[in-house]
Structure 1
């Protein structure tokens, strides 16, 4: 009787087992047949194509940024150190070299320990090859059948991978596709992100740190949870020691290492040269569209393009540092001068006008809410992050508070180019790309102030005015210009003193500049500006002499280059060549332009170089010498616009032209005082600090030690005159110095 019962039980167990095995076989066959969706074939596997980030390189082939949907940067197996492979195998798949894609022993361990005994510490059963299958081919949702379906699919794909690729090739594919935190894929991208170094440079401890995150990329993120990461890293080191990849001494030494992260930012919001990278991005999006064909489509975010530019990574770093150092101090002074009466605090009309431009206001307005209801809603305080010159901070504030906060910040733009080719060497578009997206190098156009005067003086020289011609500094009321009467600022003797052209430019005397424009002719001046590459519309009014024209930094840099480039302007450029992901040349950009003609004579050029140097040596930019101790061959021009809204400085060296602007993005807010807002104080220090930094770096000796050529004997003789000349006795006797002279502005053309 007992035997019969056992026999029946055995029969039932057998039938259940057979049924289960049968159902399992049917299930596996259904998966293989594609009833649960397509399974990559051997052909698909042989033609693996992963999205690859496009990379931007500087003039020295240094990586400065990426464009990606997923941050990938594939490398060859030969570039991966053995200790990275050892850490991976010891932690993820110790029998990797012994199985054919599926580790049966691990599967049974998972079945009995993890599933039946609920032992979470037993680990997973997926091999590196199965994980690769998951990385390469995304999972789909099948409801309650999701886990068995996707696991079966991955096993099938793993077997196919093992048939088509060697173990080394599988490790290479895995290393290049495995996901790390922060939308980062592949060991190379992770190494650059967390340690700012290539995979080949990783230490065993750093390798263990990264491999350790694979168990749970968020939980063990080194940035978010350093303590948990170190604990997990030590587990990886233990596994490496356990399986003979580390000696006792190596294991003990590595355990003592602290977690030292060095983030290399390549995202669009942060990192080096974000405004420049955005400019390159827009240009390359157009390039991809123009050059894509049906057979060879190009996608900036997935095609793995290599984009080579003229930017100098080190010079860019120095430029950004110089801007930040100066703006921190200037911002503090700017706010202190206004105090409680600052426009962003007290000007209700200004604040309201900016609030109405916010998305928050527009959304509420679209709901037909009353103005009071909208403002009440925008006055509700909540937690948010605010930008500050010393870093971001969390605050409790309203939308209106936020508008007022951001209204107060000064912004800046700076462009440095090679004046002989136009190659861009540094590009600083603003103070912080994450919070201030607007690029002040190429997009922004602001009044240029006295930085336009050299163009006026150049035109006058071309029209026959001599550098030793003298002009009265006396203020004039121009009756045919509705009584317009330009005045001077600073220590200028207007009563009886006449200034030579050289001295007038060095001291930036407004009254003289207008008189020089009379001699040059407004039409002639505008024509010369166009020859110099300025395409913006210039006002045909006498105030042009004082820089009322609104121009971009980009235009100004190309125009000023003519003074050290044989009188020829340049068009700033930044693209050198584009390669595909295999390193094959797709396009090399030719920027040579032999058709550009000199905009003015060589004699005028030599005179202007001497005049620009006098601005630095004895004029409005003399603090380059006195305050910053710069001894380089250097010319320049400061600029300050009406109501101290814009501060400019242009630095001219034989091999580098740098244009700098500082001001508030809202035109209605200027500096409180000329002392703080003048170009010599607000903009010049950024260029000075940059020059100080590159002077200390011997890499830039070719730039910093370059010298202007001496002027010809003829030009030297033309410049040999006293800086000023007093009016004669009788003229002084019959002139009332306190009465404005009245005259008509001469319109030559």
Structure 2
């Protein structure tokens, strides 16, 4: 019996050993299988894997950034990804702490995979949370993509994610991985990456984010769609998620319980600043820049090393511009302050009761229909429907069908949008009733353009009135006539000329008929100095100068000053019949301020690729046009404009004056209190269709135009339809703001007098005539020739 027991015991022992052996075989086989699986994944057996080149240069679309001269981002060009990467040093500590505390508390301890977290997730079947590390999430975002609903595919993706995470840890520092994660995440509302998100949700750079702002953004990593504060479909959820992040930070001692409790009671305090192509600062300039960059990219000299063209929307270029973000803001603010007041007066004068053809004056019904018909064919709606194969009859019918739309409207002095139902043909007429501005400001010494306002709202008025639009310039052309006369005949501002009418006979200077000028005040007696005549914008004196020198030399002078628009060499150009852009006028006037040297306007100083390599550096283009003496004398003449008459009164007023009372609500909020030397010229065209003001100080020249899209829409009387009322207030508000900002150093100095000045300029302006008259304060153009 004892032997049997011994044999049985040995058998049981042998059987136990077999199980142990199989256990180790299976265990080691499993380990080997896992190792082989990971090896297979790393070799691409489970799908394409990034090589080291791609790991070093992940393929992400980067927006092109537009940078101002004072190092601020004006806007970006992008299609899908509004992404501008930042380095780890640009991330505040509280933002990094919030991420680590919430997403991967052992981030600095593991090498890509958190073993403890993985085991916890497996044992709880995911009920206690996932185990994805920050490195794994980066690998998923950059290389793996969204997890498949299929279990096997999901497992395959997870293995690839682990392999790539380990590679990332070998390739990059922990700090670089954190920066990469912040840069690739989509925070919604075009907030691609932390820099865009910080600017869009809080109007800040990432380095300026405070603790609760950082917590909200980190909270969005869980689900940027669900926890997105704009639109606020889930305000409670967004706030609760932010508070979870704060709780995590307190749990792991990044902040105290007191700080957590205090911040959890606060609101989100958003400063939503959307970054779209039609919103933000300098929208019209950015659209001009888009065209500039397209032309630049077409040039074969500006290609990538591989010969391909740069992509404006995804290659992460940096465009350094001359625009000053502060001056741009002051310019836009000036437009936004003046235009609704001017528009209110215009609407008041163009009610259906007062004008049945509003906003058009002097047009018949058939003429209005033709104007709208021409606009219809040029419009975007016509083009789109034509491309869709619609017949002309169908397209015209669509313009008569009431349609839901959002239209622009000034509400309480602010640019707004309102929902309405309107026929497209009626919306065309509605938009033609708006007065529009164009404004450009330039440093005459360098040619650098500092501010560019092509309109009042790019979304609804996309035609740029700085460079695209060319309008009659009225009396702002007169300084070109005066400068030519001074240059050729050495006239002095103190020389006197009769105010009497003058007729330039037919066929002289190519004139088909006799041309006789009129003064808007109807007065023709006495004499005026040139300085007084320009200040009062006396037409007959300007016509006498034109008769002395002829139109061709004036045209040639304008061309030398940078005017590229067509100018017909006839005597009437003396009064500003030519259509010229704000861009050209500012550049031309800058020549006077720059001692006779023309500088071609500069908007872009350099272009860099995403690595900081300079691809383009601007080369200045300048030429001598006038002697320093002639340029100074012309400026001295224009100083007379701002020393007398309504222009001088408005610019230098320190309180409520007759001009504020005279123009009621349009002038409310001004005086400008400018007591420094200023040269300038107003301009008003026939029927008050265009109002201009050109203003000069030694280191800044600014031009402003205001008018409607069609010349048939205008003020009935010159009281409001003159440049001194339509355009000058924008210049005054802008300059007042620029002078208040001491960081800008806009000059208040006198214009520098040439050492060898021989022409006498020591005469005072009386300010009599058009500009000095309350009843009829500006000149108009007489086309009877």
1:153 aligns with 2:160: yes
- Residues 230-262 of structure 1 deviation map (CA, whole Å, 9 limit, x = unaligned): 121112112222233221111112113222223
Distance 2:757 2:135 in 1: 80
Paired with 1:416 and 1:322, the residues of 2 have a C-alpha distance of 13
Q: Distance between the aligned counterparts of 1:602 and 1:126, measured in 2?
A: 72
Report the Cα distance in structure 1 between the residues aligned to 2:768 and 2:330, rounded to whole angstroms.
Answer: 43
Could you say which residue in structure 2 is the equivalent of 1:334? 346
Q: 1:548 to 1:638 in 2, by over 3 A?
A: same
Compared CA separation, residues 147 and 483, structure 1 to 2 (3 A): same
Q: Does 1:633 align with 2:677?
A: yes
Residues paired across the two proteins, number:
704
Indicate the residue corresponding to 1:222 in structure 2.
229
1:348 is matched with which residue?
A: 369
| 1:81 lines up with 2:92 in the alignment | yes
- Compute the displacement of 1:658 (Å): 0.6
Separation (CA, whole Å) in 1 of partners of 2:443 and 2:62 = 33
Q: Quote the offset at 1:716 in angstroms.
A: 7.0
Q: 1:416: Cα distance to partner?
A: 0.9
CA contact (8 A) 2:642 2:651 kept: yes
Q: Does 1:247 align with 2:259?
A: no
The DSSP-based 3-state class of the residue aligned with 1:223 is coil
Aligned residue number for residue 674 of structure 1: 718
Match of 1:520 among 546, 549, 559: 549
Measured at CA, do residues 141 and 245 of structure 1 come closer, stay the same or move farther in structure 2, by a change above 3 Å?
closer
Structure 2: any 5+ residue segments left out of the alignment? 1-22, 654-670, 770-783
> What's the secondary structure of 1:61's corresponding residue?
coil
Aligned partners of 1:366, 1:288: CA distance in 2, in Å? 28
Q: Select between 231-240 and 124-133 the one with higher mean Cα deviation.
A: 124-133
Shift of 1:141: 9.2
Does residue 430 (structure 1) correspond to residue 430 (structure 2)? The answer is: no
Q: 1:127: how far off?
A: 2.4
Q: 1:632 deviation in Å?
A: 1.6
Q: Does 1:39 align with 2:58?
A: no
**Structure 1, 410-419 or 28-37: larger mean CA deviation:** 28-37
The offset of 1:639, in angstroms, is 0.8
> For residues 22 and 569 of structure 1, what CA distance do their matches in structure 2 show?
78
Deviation at 1:657, TM superposition (A): 0.7
Mapped to 1, the partners of 2:562 and 2:716 lie a distance apart of 34
2:439–2:582 contact (8 Å) kept in structure 1 = yes
* Structure 2 residue corresponding to 1:663, chosen from 707, 717, 731: 707
Query: Alignment partner of 1:605: what SS?
Result: helix
**1: CA distance, partners of 2:311 / 2:388:** 39
* Change beyond 3 A, Cα 1:579–1:358: closer
**Match in the other structure for 1:385:** 406
Q: TM-score, normalised by structure 2?
A: 0.81
Contact 1:265 1:272 in 2 (8 A): no
Specify whether residues 39 and 460 from structure 1 end up closer, same or farther in structure 2 by C-alpha distance, changes over 3 A only.
same
Structure 1 residues 68 and 114, CA gap change in structure 2 (3 angstroms): farther
> What CA distance in whole angstroms lies between the structure 2 residues aligned with 1:654 and 1:400?
48
Instruction: Tell me, yes or no, if the aligned pair for 2:599 and 2:621 is still in contact at 8 Å.
Output: no
Per-residue CA deviation, residues 344-398 of structure 1 (Å, 9 max, x unaligned), is: 5873333333233334334555677676654443333343222223212222333
CA contact (8 A) 1:508 1:620 kept: no
Q: Is the 8 A contact 1:413 1:661 kept in 2?
A: yes
Deviation at 1:575, TM superposition (A): 2.1
Query: Residue 445 of structure 2: which of 402, 420, 441 is its match?
Result: 420
Cα–Cα, structure 1 residues 476 and 693, in superposed 2: closer, same or farther, change >3 Å? same
- Which of residues 268, 287, 306 is equivalent to 2:296? 287
For residues 175 and 423 of structure 2, the distance between their equivalents in structure 1, rounded to whole angstroms, comes to 57
Q: Deviations over 1:405-453 (max 9, x none)?
A: 3222222111111112211111112111222222222222111111111
For 1:415, what is the secondary structure of its paired residue?
strand
Q: Go from structure 1 to structure 2 and tell me whether the alpha carbon gap of 1:605 and 1:492 turns closer, same or farther (over 3 Å shift).
A: farther
The aligned counterpart of 2:737 is 693
* Shift in CA distance, 373/24, structure 1 to aligned 2, threshold 3 Å: farther
Note closer, same or farther for the CA distance 1:352–1:706 as it changes in structure 2 (3 Å cut): same
Question: Structure 1, unaligned stretches of length 5 or more?
Answer: 1-13, 727-743
- Give yes or no for the alignment of 1:541 onto 2:570: yes
User: CA shift at 1:704, angstroms?
Assistant: 3.6
| Residues 488/230 of structure 1: CA separation in 2 closer, same or farther (3 Å cut) | farther
Residue 484 of structure 1: how far off its partner (Å)? 5.4
Q: Is the 8 A contact 1:497 1:725 kept in 2?
A: no
Q: Distance in 1 between matches of 2:164 and 2:443?
A: 54
**Alpha-carbon separation, structure 2, partners of 1:141 and 1:463:** 79
1:505 Cα deviation from its structure 2 partner: 1.2
Counterpart in 2 of 1:67? 77
Following TM superposition, by how much is the alpha carbon of 1:592 offset from its aligned partner in structure 2, in angstroms?
6.0
TM-score (norm 1): 0.85
RMSD: 3.5
CA shift at 1:21, angstroms? 12
Could you tell me which of 359, 380, 400 is aligned with 2:425? 400
Distance in 2 between residues matched to 1:101 and 1:721, nearest whole Å: 81
Question: 1:571 & 1:712 partners in 2: Cα distance?
Answer: 26
Task: Give the Cα–Cα distance (whole angstroms) in 2 for the partners of residues 202 and 455 of structure 1.
Answer: 53
Q: Which residue of 2 aligns with 1:624?
A: 651
Change (3 A) 1:200 1:366: closer
SS at match of 1:648: strand
- Report the CA distance shift for 1:644/1:553 in structure 2 as closer, same or farther (over 3 A): same
| CA pair 486-691 structure 1, distance change in 2 beyond 3 A | farther
- Is contact 2:642–2:680 with CA below 8 Å preserved after alignment? yes
Aligned partners of 1:434, 1:725: CA distance in 2, in Å?
44
Aligned match of 1:231: 240
Q: Deviations over 1:327-348 (max 9, x none)?
A: 1111111222111135458733
User: Which residue pairs with 2:17 in the alignment?
Assistant: none
